[in-house]
Amino acid sequence: MTDQTPPVPSSVLTAAGLVGGYAVARATGVRALGGVALAAAGVAAGRTWVRAGIPQTAALAATYVAAFGLSHPLAKKIGAWPSVLTVAAAAGAASHLLADRAVVRR
């Protein structure tokens, strides 16, 4: 593994943060613990985002927060787990396209 290649792609961390944050909150009944999991994964993903560039970092951080926010109204329409999985897939795909591919190319 080189210094350029992260051990875990940010797309995986992004999706895992959204899914894991919800799973922790649901399993424990403590929403704040879910928030801790969400934040920790976001910070870890952000380390790769920064390597891709400041504009990408800003866009992906906004996407991550927006995905979390949008999962709530979407859950009212399609259910909690389908909502979380949908936003996790979208945010993970964005992270792959804007950060992971750029970092691997360098």
User: Does the residue 4 lie in any domain?
Assistant: no
Q: Which residue in this structure is represented by tokens 């906004």?
A: 62
pLDDT for position 24: 98
The length of the chain in residues reads 106
The answer as to whether 21 is a domain residue is yes
Listed as ranges, residues in the chain with pLDDT below 70 are 1-6, 104-106
- Residue 2 in domain: no
> Can you give the pLDDT at residue 17?
98
**Position 5 in a domain:** no
Residue 3 lies in a domain: no
* 47, part of any domain: yes
Residue 4 Cα distances to 7, 84, 104, angstroms: 10, 30, 7
**What is the count of structural domains for the chain?**
1
Structure confidence at residue 7 (pLDDT): 82
pTM of the complete model:
0.90
* pLDDT of res. 13: 98
Q: What is the pLDDT of residue 28?
A: 97
